[in-house]
Amino acid sequence: MAVSVSAGDSEIIEVETNLSEDLANYVNTKTNTAKKTVAVQKSGTAGKMLYILVGVSFGLMCVLQVTLNISLRLAHSNFLEEQIKWLETSYNNLTEEKKQLQISYNNLTKERDKFTELEWRKFNSSLYYISNEYKTWEDSRRDCLKRGADLAVINSEEEQVFISQLNTKPWIGLTDKDSEGTWKWVDGTPLTTAFWFTEEPNDGAVNGEDCVSLYYHTESALKNWNDLACNNTELMWICEIVNG
């Protein structure tokens, strides 16, 4: 500030002018400083907010990351659990299947043994069982049925010859017990080709003879049938499984 010390109005005015100029400058400077301060303060707030925003974002990202990690871990462990469950089921299924196969195998082995043991014989498409006991015709038939078979039904010369070679005096599945003189096979078919022995059937016993057996060692294997009393207990029997 210029201060001139002299007497006179003009000088005083000059001093005053200078003073007001200085005052104006001072006010200006102050105002600017205040403005700057405000600006600086304003920019400080924005920075803080940005800082907070970044912080919050970072925090959110961390939370997201953790959530994602946990989710993945859970998903992965769920997937593993599912896989383990599937493998367990597979294993149990296979074990069960193995058990079933073992049972089937044992069943079949038993069946095969039963057939070979008890001398089932194959001819054409049938299996034949020759008894080693003696029973009535009815009891013989019952035994065959129990074996999943029936008394033999003879459909051809070849079968007649085959059966003739098997045993002494066996019962076969032929009877006229339902209607005298009307011979019927156990499978329900009527008799068409017969191989009766000489002068048979004769229904010779007191109470009749309604069941058929084969004589042993006749001259011809094509002439050996004989009717006998069905309750005769001195005969063996032959069972047949058709298509066995």
Binding site for ligand NAG (CB under 6 A): 86, 89-90, 93, 100, 103-104, 107, 124-125, 155-156, 158-159, 207, 229, 231-233
- Nearest 5 degrees, angle CA 142-CA 143-CA 148? 95
Structure tokens at 77: 């462990």
Helix/strand/coil for 175: strand
**Nearest distance, CB of residue 242 and ligand NAG, angstroms:** 7
**Nearest distance, CB of residue 99 and ligand NAG, angstroms:** 9
| Count of alpha carbons within 13 angstroms of residue 217, beta-carbon side | 1
**Nearest distance, CB of residue 210 and ligand NAG, angstroms:** 11
Q: Residue 14 or residue 138: which is nearer to ligand NAG going by CB?
A: 138
Residue 7 phi, psi (nearest 5): -90, 145
E strands within 119-233? 120-123, 126-130, 150-151, 170-175, 184-185, 211-214, 225-228
Q: Is the peptide bond before 201 cis (omega within 30 degrees of 0)?
A: yes
**Nearest distance, CB of residue 71 and ligand NAG, angstroms:** 27
Does an H or E element contain 236, and which?
Answer: strand 236-241
**Nearest distance, CB of residue 205 and ligand NAG, angstroms:** 8
Q: Helix and strand tally (H, E) in the chain?
A: 3, 8
Residues 6+ positions from 119 with CB-CB distance below 8 Å: 129, 130
**Nearest distance, CB of residue 188 and ligand NAG, angstroms:** 16
Q: How many other C-beta atoms can be found within 10 angstroms of the C-beta atom of residue 80?
A: 10
